[in-house]
Amino acid sequence: MFNLLSEMPLVTIIRVAAVLLAITIHEYCHGLAADKLGDPTPRINDRLSLNPIKHLDPLGTLALFFLGIGWAKPVPIDPFNFQNKKRDMALVSLAGPLSNFISALIIAFLLKFFLPILGISAGINLLIRTLSYPFIAISIGLAVFNLIPIPPLDGAKILFAILPKQLAYEWEETIGRYGLLILMFLLFPLFGRQAIIMNFISPIISTILNLLL
């Protein structure tokens, strides 16, 4: 999505803040959805929190700085606490990306329809947009990336719930078994430029951002 180390210090600070906020919303909503569906595990593990520090994964944070794509520490979930394990796991998995889409949509809506009627100065207007645009872009990027149907990403759990039982089992035994290795390969920078996966998801992210902004 971007290389934080290549930016000016002020831009880096703004983007780091946006990343922390987007990741926190994402993981908190995973935990909140699980809690509402009957699983107290996130609350017991103190992950039902809006404190960004509780959600940071050291390796995922380093990947964000060096590769432009990162991830947070997964919220612990016990699917045996759900009434419908397959369905509820899909709902919990969907909650994270959906929260990023919704938060980006809300901010974009406020910028487009509410900000112009405030009558504020051009300088304040620019400042608000400068602070808001990175959050919108990162939220959309985080949502799209996590919807890739490769374990351990959210998209894999959602797809597993949608597929027929036999097909889901076969998928888990093939792609699922090597999901982490596949994902690591796709996160590898292509010719020293950007992660391979970005060549596939960048057009999707750009299209959504064009619609929003």
| Tens digit of each residue's pLDDT (9 = 90 or more) over 80-130 | 999 999 899 999 999 999 999 999 999 999 998 888 888 788 888 888 898
> What is the pLDDT, as a whole number, of residue 193?
67
CA dist., res. 17 & res. 175, Å (int): 34
> What is the pLDDT, as a whole number, of residue 184?
81
Q: Which residue has the tokens 């929190």?
A: 49
3-state SS, residue 75? coil
**pLDDT score of 25 more than 80:** yes
Q: Which residue has the tokens 């959309």?
A: 140
Residue type, 195: A
Instruction: Map out the domains of the chain as residue ranges.
Output: 4-212
Take residue 212 and report the two structure tokens written for it: 């929003």
Instruction: Using alpha carbons, list the distances in angstroms from residue 179 to 69, 103, 154, 172.
Output: 17, 29, 12, 9
pLDDT digits (tens, 9 = 90+) for 127-166: 889 889 999 999 999 999 999 998 889 999 999 888 888 8
Q: Report DSSP state, residue 6.
A: G
Out of 19-28, 54-63, 70-79, 141-150, pick the least confident.
54-63
Calculate the dihedral angle through the C-alpha atoms of 168, 69, 73, 27, rounding to the nearest 10 degrees. -80
> What is the pLDDT, as a whole number, of residue 60?
73
Residues 137, 142, 147, 149, CA torsion sign: positive
Calculate the dihedral angle through the C-alpha atoms of 162, 166, 167, 173, rounding to the nearest 10 degrees. 110
pLDDT over 90 for what percent of the chain?
A: 45
Q: How confident is the model at residue 70 (pLDDT cuts 50, 70, 90)?
A: low
> What is the pLDDT, as a whole number, of residue 178?
83
